[in-house]
Structures are given as C-alpha cells and as structure tokens.
Amino acid sequence: MSTNTLRLMAVHAHPDDESSKGAATLARYAAEGVDVLVCTCTGGERGDVLNPAMDRPGVLENMAEIRRAEMAEAAAILGVGHRWLGFVDSGLPGEGEPLPEGCFAVQDLEVAAAPLVAAVREFRPHVILTYDETGGYPHPDHIMTHRVSVEAFEAAGDPGRYPGAGEPWQPLKLYYMVSFSREWFSAIHEGLLARGLESPLADVITEDWFEGMPELTTTTRITCDDYFETRDRAIKAHATQIDPEGPWFATPRDLEREIWPTEDYQLARSHVETELPETDLFAGLREPRELPELPELPELRELRA
C-alpha cells in the first residue's frame, strides 16, 4: 500500500451489505486505483436463506462458513480488500424479544469499536463510509455499526485512546450512505410506469413503508453507473441472501442508468475544506497530491444541512 495512494474504507454490519449499499462506488474507486477496504462487523451467522434455490439441507447449519465464502467472492468481484471484525450477528428479534447473549449489538462501545480502531490505524483511510444514526433501517447491528464507525473516526487519531491498537491515524472525511431514499424509489417507480412496465415498488413508496426511515440530505453524488453490472454480480455472489429472480433485479439497468446513475452520500464530518455539493468522496483531498501521513487535527466540524 503506497503512502500517497488515496484510501477508502466502508464499514458494514453483515456480509452482503457492502454489495447492496454503495457497491458501485467501491468498484469505481477501486478501478481508478484507490485502495478500498471493506470492514464487516459480523459474520452474518443469523441470516436467513432468502434465495429459494439455496434452501437446501445443511445450509442453515453451515451458514457462517457459506457467508464467508460468499463474502470472499463478492470482494473479489468488486476489486476491494476485506476484513472481518469478528463479532457475532445479532439477528433481528421480534418486538420485546431480547438480543442474543454475546452478540454484536450488546457489546460495550469500546469493546465493539476496538477492532475497527485497529483496522483504521493499520489501513489509514482518508475517507470512511458507514450508516447514519438509524442504521439505514432499525436493525440492531446496523445501529451499532454506526456507533462504532463514529467512535473509530473520532478516536483513531488520538494517541491517548485505544492504546495498543496501533499508531494513531486520523481519517479526514466521514460519510453516511443515502441508500434507497424515498426519492430514489419514487423516481424508479415512475420510470417503470412511464415505460409501460409493471413496478414492483408500488407498495414500497407508501408512507407507511418509509415511517421511521432516515431523511438524509444528500451532499455528495458519485456517478458510478458504469459499475452497476459489477455491483449486480457482487450481490449475486451472496447467493443465500439474494434471489436473482426477485425484485432487486426487476428494474432494467438501462432505465436505472438513465434515471439515477449515482450512489448518494451525506458528508457527516470533515477535517478538510470542501464545497458542497460534491461529486467525489475525495473532494478537498486530491490537491496537494502529497497527503500528510498524520494530519493535524483542526476542530471537528459537522457538515449537515
């Protein structure tokens, strides 16, 4: 890894999240020579078999091993590095049900964040992608992923915190993924109807479906439609989690490219000056070309609408 190469880290809760949220962005930057690392907090052990073709004897019993193999294939397709952070999937308990003992979501914050702090200090990303405070949707592992990502962003550069986790490194920008916003669903739905096609999103765009979902302000749009096919191959690599005949693939890709050729983000924190809106996650970092090994820490600024 060159010290002058731009570096991007994406932090996700489960294997397959990296392929369903921001995957075309990762593939684009990797193809352009950026060092990209995906960190996955849990092994996805409690995932269900969502692809009827994979609903076979023994799959659930070997889910952890299968999902590791799926993740390796997806990372190779995207052209990114990958690191497991070592926690156990919390599952999605019903209302009032307790979380499983020892799972990711019940860890103390410093315990949950320690492996990510170590990864940040080793990989030295300039930019980190993660979920907003809601987790993108209220899965306990997604909410905890947000918490540990913010903790690592704020603590990794402080030599007084997490001693023994490596030499301090301060990431410069933190983004939240604006995945599948109300605007995105509505635009694709209307585009399908305009072509005379049946829309599988009719139920999704109702108010009830969006209740409790985040309303993030997009500050940064990354044009990455050339990598939608790569994204699709990566998500199909998670064969236990995605049905290739399901609604994920119901939208013609040429229509998606025409209507919404970007993946979108909200700049949540920045240690560099940048002008909004952005079209590059590394806006403010590409000049000068020689990036500092350990940048000085100005007062933390939040760039929120």
List binding-site positions for Zn(2+). Answer: 14, 17, 142
Residue ranges of alpha helices (H) inside the chain are 17-20, 23-31, 63-78, 109-123, 140-155, 182-194, 207-210, 228-237, 253-259
- In the 8-state DSSP scheme, what is residue 217? P
Backbone angles phi, psi at 71, to 5 degrees: -65, -40
* Cα 45 from Cα 62, distance rounded (Å): 9
* Cα 136 from Cα 131, distance rounded (Å): 6
* Cα 160 from Cα 239, distance rounded (Å): 43
Amino acid identity, position 263: E
Amino acid identity, position 164: G
Intra-chain end-to-end CA distance of the chain, in Å: 35
CB count within 10 Å of CB 208 equals: 7
Task: Decide if 39 contacts 12 (C-beta within 8 A).
Answer: yes
What are residue 173's DSSP bridge partners?
Answer: 127, 270
Task: Decide if 100 contacts 88 (C-beta within 8 A).
Answer: yes
Length of the chain: 305
Q: Annotated binding site: which residue ranges? A: 14, 17, 142
Backbone angles phi, psi at 167, to 5 degrees: -70, 140
